[in-house]
Structure 1
């Protein structure tokens, strides 16, 4: 390949990513479907918007390369999954010779193998490789292909996409090769695959551009019309100049209308409607003052009924009760001998204090109470005091002035003082008056205020029933309405200030502008969905226009012209003419001639020699068109410098016997230098290849494939009934046993079980054949007519031990050849036991054949 084409991969890597994806798809299928064009148009737009991820499939580095010089041969295909109906359990081996015939009936899997090779090797027209359409689901596609390159064994695991670079030089011929002949009105043209590929890519670009135009046409504007008086606002000017450059921040700025905006709009409307702004400001401040009073009361009562104050009052109450209890106990002790009940009680103490006040202030002024001097009288009953009465009064006074009583009295005073620290809460009528004065509407908000004061009163009432700090109820939390009222109070102050401004100067025009701007923003917020749709449309249009620039075909046409000069040579024309002669098609009057490059279309064309018109498709028969296609294919293949194999899929279709023999002889000639693999279902082709190969002493490999219950493409080995017992037994022991052992060691237990069952079945067949051929000396054999009576004399060497050995083996393994009841499934022998039985049969056969009769 020349320097120009060797840089093709680099050139493609510099093209738009969507175009690389299109190129990759065209390498895998003959043409792009409508779905492909739609997807490529989407990728083109995404790339223009900078949102296209790196393609998962890149342009193959050797899509059109001829490969490097050297030897290459295909060895086998195995582990096929998800490819048509192919499900072979054994590898498809291509043999050791240079020409291999893969024979199979229709539906045996030949086309599936050819399609798989086209994908792995990167053929020109790979087509779509479908999974088994009769099985649900989409299994993963994969296969393993082994090959030999310059004498070195290699393998490649294909995973559903991409090609094996080391096999890109393998050429595959099937019916799709005829598609390189491009028809256009009255001429049939031939382009080398790389140029035909560029032509298809140019068409793809044009279709993508058309799809983008169609998409742009369908994008109709649904932009609403903003009211005329709103167009002069900043918001209206922004709306009228919407473009694809508008950002999310712009949308938020111009199309967001909050509750605070709505409140401001209403305020502006009220300010414009107000005829006495100074009086309005005074009213607002008065309303603010009532709000502040309400807030102060709430904060005051919250503090008075705080947890700390609540506990302090309860503690004072508790102390008062304890001190009184102690004083009462002391009084009980002092007055236990009194003739009257209740001496020392609270009622008595009040009486005592009243008597004291009367004595010191009126009856005996200036004399300490009680007056027990000579001739003194009781201030209550006015009887002259006896010595006993005087002593009793003195003891009563000592008790009243004692420490315990004093402590009880002091504690009672402290409790009273603490209780009086909580002021009386406003009544419901007073509270309603304050709420109305603060301008709080009688709604849920006002209910929250009322409920809060009700909770305060309930908390205060609890002071009379709670006796310990531990029983203190949970404190009240600051209600949310306090913050809201505070916010309203602040707003009232600000609004009053604005009314003051309105009263001082003429600012109505500014208010109108601001109001109009807010109204415009409200309108935009109401039509935000439509604005978003319009912006989405504008961005898509902008994206489409940007994307269309990358569909320009000028670079593709220029590159195709450069490649045409490098690839279309006289040598290629001469090889084509030589192949026509070698295939016995000289009478087909066609010639391959150069043609000018015109808009990336025809570069080389096939035309009828000496005919007035170039109607090849109307003049040539199907067979002639087929032989011309083969000639063009061979002209291309033989121009390469490597010794890569090529694959034919039923090459003699539509050919008569003369052309068939010519093609076969050409294939035999090519097999002298490179590997040739032919897939066919025709026995005539198989016989013809054998015939001409024998003439040249060339050994051919014949592989048979068949359709099995699990799928197609299964290699069909020679039946055991016709195989050599010794070779078959060695295969079981040295190959298939090792495969089963390896599967078991790798944890593939189900696969190992299948292999063991198959081995047991085949071993049982070999035991039966050994009875026929060895034990019975071949006297009677299945599938053979004669009875070898002369061998009967050799039966004298037969012993009981021989019969017992073979009978035991037959008994042990018959179950693997005959159906068994599901209720008692047959257990597989241990792999070691199976190997021991096979070894015993082998040893017995070797000894028996040497035993003398």
Structure 2
């Protein structure tokens, strides 16, 4: 490669950003364009700090830049099959193409235009051409087809549909393309690899720009507007001026809305809501006093209900139960010696104490033997009872029981007083509500009192079966909470004082805190703002100016001079008289290389289409199209849709010659509705082969006729261009006749007769082509403007027996090609008779061909 070309690329590469270098390197390595686009987008976002990705930019300049190998692969379109949902097309077999020149003929309504529409969409999915399904059918079937390509002999089948965004390797010339080449600057289709990379780089930049713009639009729509009432704050003004990333970072540090800020804002908000600040201050002072009293009561309740007091109370209950049980057991032991029903009762105890006291007051021991009250001697049993009663009276169990009861009773009274006075939840709650305490304060104190009440009530109604004592909040936590409530109220009092003394400052602090809170709650807004700034930076950094500049410099070196020369050669071939005066001018923008056709040597500036005739206009456009595409080293299929519209016979012949010549280099497919042009192409092919016998095998002529019913059904080597009638007759002999015979054996006589009649019709047509192509050796052919005078010498080998044989066969089978009267239809020949005639025609044809070859 020229050193100055490498210098241009190197200069661009060194000045480019890393993502551009990476894209260039990947494209040079022939990486997939779509994947390179996605990679470049991620690298751009990473480079600008928008998002991260695992990719690392490849920024090493390719050492093999001077090794520009051309892509000389041979690609042909082999077939269009399984076509559905395209107008009224209903072919039963594929439309197949071969290497060389393919001519697809079709009269109006045969589906030719529908096939071309499919190919146009396959060439360029963004083409604005519309493809409709059959509007006369209720079911709307989406358009789809199967396209088969061959690349260097390897077949690839792909499913095409309107949703497919793939560009297939075909190029189509039609009226629309003709206007594109003349009406405006037209981008060249082919470019050398290095130049094409810059076109792809421009495409990648446009792709990134579109993606970034779309992302920017989405982010902008998600951006919340600052409320009007906050727009005058310093923070809001600062936010509106955020245009750089450092400013965003500084702003983010200013919007951390803390718990302290929240409390301050709440205080200010409450202050602004007070209609009478002095009265409110007085109420708040009362709240402080109430909290202080409640704190003292609750602190006292916690002291009484701490774990040691709970355990002590439970222990007292247990002692009282134990002493009572011991004393009752003692009474139970001695109860059986007494006949008094109320033995052991309180009344009995009082009686016994009094009698014992009376007994003690009487001197002498004799009292132990006589009753103290009646002074009667005691029986032995009475003495025993007396002794037992004295033991009970002398026991200290009753005293222990009484002492335990008294201790427990005092503690229970104290607990009852605590429950009824200090832990009266409803009364306390009412006091708090009446004094307008906040809900959280009321709720918290109510919860603490409830827990203390439950604990006290559990203790008061202690049940040994329920051993788990209800828990309460830690006393220090509660007392700290009271201090917090008190502090909060005192802060409100201070805020009221501040408001009374300096309301203007309070107003400013209020709006600033509100703004700070809004931005803190909408931090996604700041994040979006940051992302929008980055997206703006990306948008500004992906302009194609540097790519366009390098591309234009390279285009001048690598394309323009060669392309202009190629256009002149093509135009001279189509217009040998040099009567069309036009020139090709180059243009470049956004990384694209474009050319436009202009009138050459004109003193007055006019549009090309205003000066050229319609035929000249068409010729110039074909020259530009061929000049552009003939530079493509990859031999793709070239498709021409009625290329000779508005051309006279001279231009038509020149176009045909150029298409035939082109078909020896690559596949050419011509769609036409003119049989004469199809015949011209065939004659030009034969003439080119005669003039260039060494390339006979490099191109084939494939003629396809399209049927009207079923629409689009292909007929290969159609009736208007049968090149081998003997092969057709051989097919009837080898395939059709055995099938008819089988149908008759199976009893399907109607179908057998229909196929027999069809064979007779084909035989009639084959006889015509035996006359045209063999007997006359192509001297005169239908739909051709030419007479091959060189072939007149072959007429002398015709013998009378040849004429008689052909005339006999022509007469016999003419009835089956033309319509017959219904009152007297022609009878079909016997199958054996048809088979004999076919054999005779084949034998005659082969023998006559031998005679021609000898000549």
Provide TM-score, normalisation by structure 1: 0.59
Q: Indicate how the Cα distance of structure 1 residues 690 and 330 shifts in structure 2: closer, same or farther if over 3 A, else same.
A: farther
Superposed CA deviations along residues 750-804 of structure 1, whole A, max 9, x for unmatched, are xxxxxxxxxx99x9999865577799x9999998974356769999xxxxxxxxx
1:74 aligns with 2:73: no
Q: Indicate how the Cα distance of structure 1 residues 138 and 401 shifts in structure 2: closer, same or farther if over 3 A, else same.
A: farther
- Contact 2:132–2:143 under 8 Å retained in 1: no
Q: Which residue of 2 aligns with 1:102?
A: 104
Contiguous gaps of at least 5 residues in structure 1: 25-40, 56-64, 732-759, 796-853
- Contact 2:419–2:453 under 8 Å retained in 1: no
Q: Which residue of 2 aligns with 1:50?
A: 50
- Contact 1:255–1:524 under 8 Å retained in 2: no
Q: Which residue of 1 aligns with 2:557?
A: 566
CA distance in structure 1 between the partners assigned to 2:460 and 2:231 by the alignment: 68
RMSD: 6.9
Q: Which residue of 1 aligns with 2:482?
A: 488
Query: Residues 793-804 of structure 1: matches in 2 within 5 Å?
Result: none
Q: Which residue of 2 aligns with 1:555?
A: 546
Q: Indicate how the Cα distance of structure 1 residues 764 and 238 shifts in structure 2: closer, same or farther if over 3 A, else same.
A: farther
Q: Which residue of 1 aligns with 2:574?
A: 583
**1:147 counterpart SS class:** strand
Q: Indicate how the Cα distance of structure 1 residues 669 and 417 shifts in structure 2: closer, same or farther if over 3 A, else same.
A: same
Q: Pick the aligned partner of 2:96 from 70, 79, 93.
A: 93
1:392 aligns with 2:359: no
Q: Indicate how the Cα distance of structure 1 residues 531 and 793 shifts in structure 2: closer, same or farther if over 3 A, else same.
A: closer
1:671 aligns with 2:663: yes
**2:416 counterpart SS class:** coil
Superposed CA deviations along residues 154-196 of structure 1, whole A, max 9, x for unmatched, are 55667866657xx75x53323343354365xxxx656534799
Q: Which residue of 2 aligns with 1:363?
A: 361
1:294 aligns with 2:294: no
CA distance in structure 1 between the partners assigned to 2:344 and 2:330 by the alignment: 9
- Contact 1:102–1:705 under 8 Å retained in 2: yes
CA distance in structure 2 between the partners assigned to 1:450 and 1:211 by the alignment: 59
Give 1:629 shift: 0.6
Give 1:83 shift: 8.2
CA distance in structure 1 between the partners assigned to 2:179 and 2:514 by the alignment: 62
Query: Residues 569-718 of structure 1: matches in 2 within 5 Å?
Result: 569-584=560-575, 586=577, 588-594=579-585, 604-615=595-606, 616-641=608-633, 643-693=635-685, 700-703=701-704
CA distance in structure 2 between the partners assigned to 1:717 and 1:310 by the alignment: 115
**1:426 counterpart SS class:** helix
CA distance in structure 1 between the partners assigned to 2:262 and 2:288 by the alignment: 24
Q: Indicate how the Cα distance of structure 1 residues 691 and 537 shifts in structure 2: closer, same or farther if over 3 A, else same.
A: same
Q: Which residue of 2 aligns with 1:181?
A: 181
Query: Residues 178-577 of structure 1: matches in 2 within 5 Å?
Result: 178=178, 180-181=180-181, 183=183, 192-193=188-189, 245-247=247-249, 249-250=252-253, 252-253=255-256, 259-262=262-265, 290-300=293-303, 302-303=305-306, 326=329, 329-335=332-338, 338=339, 340-353=340-353, 355-356=355-356, 358=357, 363=361, 373=367, 378=372, 381=373, 383=375, 386-387=378-379, 389-398=382-391, 406=397, 417=407, 421-422=411-412, 423-426=415-418, 441=435, 445-446=441-442, 449=445, 468-470=464-466, 475-478=469-472, 483=477, 486-490=480-484, 492=486, 518-519=509-510, 521-525=512-516, 528=519, 542-543=533-534, 545-550=536-541, 552-577=543-568
**1:253 counterpart SS class:** coil
Give 1:622 shift: 2.9
CA distance in structure 1 between the partners assigned to 2:474 and 2:84 by the alignment: 69
Q: Which residue of 2 aligns with 1:748?
A: none
- Contact 2:551–2:593 under 8 Å retained in 1: no
Contiguous gaps of at least 5 residues in structure 2: 28-40, 56-67, 690-698, 719-727, 761-811, 821-825, 836-855
CA distance in structure 2 between the partners assigned to 1:71 and 1:242 by the alignment: 58
Q: Indicate how the Cα distance of structure 1 residues 545 and 684 shifts in structure 2: closer, same or farther if over 3 A, else same.
A: same
Give 1:686 shift: 3.6
Q: Indicate how the Cα distance of structure 1 residues 328 and 85 shifts in structure 2: closer, same or farther if over 3 A, else same.
A: farther
Superposed CA deviations along residues 268-317 of structure 1, whole A, max 9, x for unmatched, are 99xxx999xxx999999977753442232342454479997897677667
CA distance in structure 2 between the partners assigned to 1:66 and 1:182 by the alignment: 32
Give 1:558 shift: 0.8
Q: Indicate how the Cα distance of structure 1 residues 315 and 607 shifts in structure 2: closer, same or farther if over 3 A, else same.
A: same
CA distance in structure 2 between the partners assigned to 1:51 and 1:634 by the alignment: 46
Q: Pick the aligned partner of 1:146 from 146, 149, 153.
A: 149
- Contact 2:451–2:472 under 8 Å retained in 1: no
**1:557 counterpart SS class:** helix
Q: Which residue of 2 aligns with 1:802?
A: none
CA distance in structure 2 between the partners assigned to 1:227 and 1:579 by the alignment: 70
Give 1:375 shift: 7.2
CA distance in structure 2 between the partners assigned to 1:265 and 1:696 by the alignment: 99
Provide TM-score, normalisation by structure 2: 0.59
Q: Indicate how the Cα distance of structure 1 residues 794 and 541 shifts in structure 2: closer, same or farther if over 3 A, else same.
A: closer
CA distance in structure 1 between the partners assigned to 2:708 and 2:306 by the alignment: 95
Q: Indicate how the Cα distance of structure 1 residues 602 and 68 shifts in structure 2: closer, same or farther if over 3 A, else same.
A: closer
How many residues in Structure 1 have an aligned counterpart in Structure 2? 691
CA distance in structure 1 between the partners assigned to 2:491 and 2:520 by the alignment: 38
- Contact 2:287–2:435 under 8 Å retained in 1: no
Superposed CA deviations along residues 777-836 of structure 1, whole A, max 9, x for unmatched, are 9999998974356769999xxxxxxxxxxxxxxxxxxxxxxxxxxxxxxxxxxxxxxxxx
